């Protein structure tokens, strides 16, 4: 007899069976088996239903979790909805409906579609971030962070979209416009609550050693966490004022030939009355405000910038005056909003110096620097010695790091020798004029 496969009958049979018997329900108190946790990225229930990209990722975790069940693991594979954010808000604005009603309807539609896909979710543990029973705990966590001093209210640069009336992350800004709606986005200072993530850098890094992720993914996370060891140094400005920089390469401080400040930072704002080319500087600042952090750092290829004519900083180790520039690759929200530029030993500084015709001073021996910089990744641990560095000339890099730091500490221009800094939004030391 010929057998005909009828997907409607077969799929409904097993969907009903799984639902009736709670086949994929996880007993979290069952310690007789090894545990396995499969977690998907929760969808935004702000559209008419799933799109093709949803099952593409969910199928992969479904395969993994089913395999682990067959291997004898106690698998937790939950599903939830990221329903308490901008997508839901914008959907409400565009449709004219109150989010409270249609969000729940969308969740039911999404859940129905996911069940029809046959993915092995434990639906008894489904959550929605717009549910007061859920977000009361996020509020509680934030309160504990605040009470312990980790949550702070600071004035900082953000991606502001006037039409959406909200701050956007870098990932939500594409070519200076919002991902949703294509509205103009500018950089502006606003009061924001921030979490002092650098305080947790060490624990986050240690945790990466305990999870079963691809090493390439872990490296991305390590870069994002951004723990580094270095020195924070104060620089005086000729004519009054000062600012600080943070560097992991204090051994190259004698090679500074210019300094670069964040165009949208408070330091430059305070210096504007003293610059000799205010129109040129302001035009560059206005152009910078149209870019997001990704455009200004990872995607920066032009090494654009502008000199603050008439303004110089004093290098504390030798008293030499070096010119001040602004460059959009320096972020007011990262570190101190200022960097020391050593073009002979940093490729970004090298390229910037070439574009702006700035001189270079080599202070680490070991390779010619006429074509490219001789960076720390090339000289660290190689026994290289300092040159053109006054009393530190002849010391190895490792010896010089300690000796130069000691000199700066004794001069009173540095007090912090080693600390962790978040590569993206370091909320401390925002680079204010003193």
Residue pLDDT, tens place only, 343-378: 999 998 999 999 999 999 999 999 999 999 999 988
> Quick check: is 75 in a domain?
yes
Degrees to nearest 5, angle at CA 266 with 265 and 268 = 75
Q: For residue 72, what is the domain's CATH number?
A: 3.40.50.620
Domain boundary among 74, 105, 128: 128
Mean pLDDT, range 117-128, rounded to an integer: 94
Structure tokens at 146: 């605040």
- For residue 364, give its domain range: 228-411
pLDDT of residue 326: 96
pLDDT of residue 178: 87
Tokens 């309807």 -> residue? 105
Distance CA 360, CA 376 (A): 16
Residue pLDDT, tens place only, 323-349: 999 999 898 877 788 999 999 999 989
Nearest-CA neighbor of 42 among 130, 117, 105?
130
Say if residue 238 is in the same domain as residue 377: yes
Domain boundary among 100, 128, 156: 128
Rounded to two decimals, the pTM is 0.60
- pLDDT above 80 (res 244): yes
Q: For residue 234, what is the domain's CATH number?
A: 3.90.740.10
pLDDT of residue 421: 46
Structure tokens at 66: 């089913």
Query: Do residues 167 and 160 touch, judged by C-beta distance below 8 A?
Result: yes
- pLDDT above 50 (res 250): yes
Query: Do residues 310 and 294 touch, judged by C-beta distance below 8 A?
Result: no
Residue pLDDT, tens place only, 23-46: 999 999 999 999 999 999 999 887
> Quick check: is 215 in a domain?
yes
Lowest mean pLDDT among 35-49, 180-194, 396-410: 180-194
Say if residue 104 is in the same domain as residue 48: yes
Say if residue 210 is in the same domain as residue 260: no
Say if residue 240 is in the same domain as residue 120: no
Say if residue 116 is in the same domain as residue 214: no
pLDDT of residue 298: 58
Distance CA 365, CA 383 (A): 10
Distance CA 262, CA 426 (A): 14
Say if residue 211 is in the same domain as residue 256: no
- Sheet strands (E) in 125-196: 127-128, 151-161, 166-168, 173-174, 177-178, 186-195
pLDDT of residue 431: 28
Percent of the chain with pLDDT over 90: 57
Structure tokens at 214: 């691809």
243 phi/psi in degrees, rounded to 5: -150, 170
Query: Do residues 110 and 55 touch, judged by C-beta distance below 8 A?
Result: no
Tokens 């190689």 -> residue? 382
Distance CA 74, CA 70 (A): 10
- Which pLDDT band, with edges at 50, 70 and 90, does 158 fall under? confident
Nearest-CA neighbor of 334 among 145, 198, 169?
198
CA 225 to chain centre: 8
Domain boundary among 76, 104, 128: 128
Residue pLDDT, tens place only, 276-314: 999 999 999 998 888 777 677 655 555 789 999 999 999
Structure tokens at 161: 């979209």
Say if residue 377 is in the same domain as residue 259: yes
> Quick check: is 22 in a domain?
yes
Nearest-CA neighbor of 57 among 109, 119, 1?
119
> Quick check: is 148 in a domain?
no
Structure tokens at 406: 């000691």
Say if residue 252 is in the same domain as residue 393: yes
Distance CA 244, CA 429 (A): 8
Distance CA 181, CA 268 (A): 32
List % helix, strand, coil for the chain (3-state, nearest 5).
40, 20, 45
Lowest mean pLDDT among 122-131, 170-179, 253-262, 312-321: 170-179
> Quick check: is 120 in a domain?
yes
Structure tokens at 12: 């409904």
Say if residue 254 is in the same domain as residue 209: no
Say if residue 206 is in the same domain as residue 316: no
Give the residue with greater pLDDT, 257 vs 200: 257
- Which pLDDT band, with edges at 50, 70 and 90, does 432 fall under? very low
> Quick check: is 59 in a domain?
yes
CA dihedral 179, 180, 183, 187 (to 10 degrees): -50
- pLDDT above 60 (res 256): yes
Say if residue 217 is in the same domain as residue 236: no
> Quick check: is 334 in a domain?
yes
Instruction: Report, in angstroms and rounded to the nearest whole number, the Rg of the chain calculated over CA atoms.
Output: 27
> Quick check: is 151 in a domain?
no
Say if residue 208 is in the same domain as residue 88: no
Domain count, the chain: 3
Mean pLDDT of the chain: 87
- Which pLDDT band, with edges at 50, 70 and 90, does 1 fall under? low
pLDDT of residue 99: 82
């Amino acid at each position: 007899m010929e057998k005909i496969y009828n997907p409607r009958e077969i799929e409904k049979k097993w969907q009903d069976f799984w639902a009736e018997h709670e086949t994929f329900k996880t007993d979290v108190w069952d310690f007789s088996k090894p545990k396995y946790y499969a977690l998907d990225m929760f969808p935004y229930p702000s559209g008419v239903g799933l799109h093709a990209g949803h099952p593409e990722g969910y199928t992969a975790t479904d395969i993994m979790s089913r395999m682990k069940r067959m291997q004898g693991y106690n698998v937790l594979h939950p599903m939830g909805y990221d329903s308490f954010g901008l997508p839901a808000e914008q959907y409400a604005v565009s449709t004219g409906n109150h989010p409270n009603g249609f969000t729940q309807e969308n969740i039911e539609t999404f859940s129905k579609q996911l069940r029809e896909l046959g993915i092995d979710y434990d639906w008894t543990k489904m959550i929605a971030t717009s549910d007061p029973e859920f977000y009361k705990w996020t509020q509680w966590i934030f309160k504990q962070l605040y009470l312990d001093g980790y949550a702070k209210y600071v004035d900082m640069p953000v991606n502001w979209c006037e039409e959406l009336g909200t701050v956007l992350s870098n990932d939500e800004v594409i070519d200076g416009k919002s991902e949703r709606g294509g509205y103009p986005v500018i950089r502006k200072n606003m009061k924001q609550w921030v979490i002092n993530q650098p305080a947790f850098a060490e624990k986050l890094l240690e945790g990466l050693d305990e999870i079963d992720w691809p090493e390439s993914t872990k490296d991305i996370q390590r870069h994002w966490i951004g723990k580094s060891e270095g020195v924070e140094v104060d620089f005086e400005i000729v004519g009054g004022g000062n600012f600080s920089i943070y560097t992991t390469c204090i051994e190259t401080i004698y090679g500074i030939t210019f300094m670069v400040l964040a165009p949208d930072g408070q330091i430059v704002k305070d210096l504007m009355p003293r610059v000799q080319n205010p129109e040129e500087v302001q035009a560059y600042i206005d152009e910078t405000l149209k870019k997001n952090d990704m455009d200004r750092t990872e995607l920066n290829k032009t090494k654009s910038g502008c000199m603050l004519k008439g303004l110089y900083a004093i290098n504390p180790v030798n008293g030499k005056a070096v010119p001040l520039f602004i460059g959009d690759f320096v972020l007011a929200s990262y570190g101190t909003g200022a960097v020391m530029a050593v073009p002979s030993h940093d490729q970004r500084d090298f390229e910037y110096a070439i574009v702006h015709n700035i001189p270079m001073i080599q202070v680490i021996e070991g390779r010619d620097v006429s074509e490219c910089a001789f960076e720390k990744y090339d000289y660290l641990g190689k026994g290289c010695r300092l040159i053109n560095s006054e009393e530190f000339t002849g010391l190895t890099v490792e010896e010089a790091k300690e000796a130069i730091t000691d000199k700066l500490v004794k001069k009173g221009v540095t007090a912090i020798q080693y600390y962790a800094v978040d590569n993206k939004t370091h909320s401390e030391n925002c680079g204010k004029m003193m």
